[in-house]
Structure 1
């Protein structure tokens, strides 16, 4: 498998190796993928939790139009 990195990413990988935390680029990339997998799983679980709260919560008396109008006023638009 071939993977291309930006100069900034290459520098980051080199810095991680130079720091002594990793012995080679493969270790850095594997660690990054583990963290990405954990982070992605966590975000998806958090979203599912929030969606469930929405489905099982009380229904708002406001319409979608009311919510959008209120949001625009809050954001100064």
Structure 2
């Protein structure tokens, strides 16, 4: 596997290793991927919960135009 990083990303990874928190670059990347997975799962679960709330709330008496207008006025 070949991965390219920006200069800023490379510096960030190097600084994390230099700080002593990680032994090498691979540990930084593995931790970043682990955190990304946690974040992504949370976002997906939050969206599912909001969709479920929408289904459970029933049919709205407001039109799409009313909903859009109310959001524009916020």
Task: Provide TM-score, normalisation by structure 1.
Answer: 0.89
- Aligned partner of 1:15 in structure 2 is 15
Distance 1:16 1:39 in 2: 20
The gaps in structure 2 that reach 5 residues or longer are: none
SS of 2:73 mapped into structure 1? helix
Q: What displacement does 1:48 show?
A: 0.3
Number of residue-to-residue matches in the alignment: 74
- Aligned partner of 2:40 in structure 1 is 40
* Of 51-60 and 29-38, the range deviating more from structure 2: 51-60
Which deviations, in whole Å up to 9, do the C-alpha atoms of 1:4-49 show, x marking residues without a partner?
0001100100110000000111000000000001110111011101
Distance 2:34 2:60 in 1: 40
Distance 1:10 1:23 in 2: 15
The gaps in structure 1 that reach 5 residues or longer are: none
- Aligned partner of 2:26 in structure 1 is 26
Distance 1:15 1:29 in 2: 13
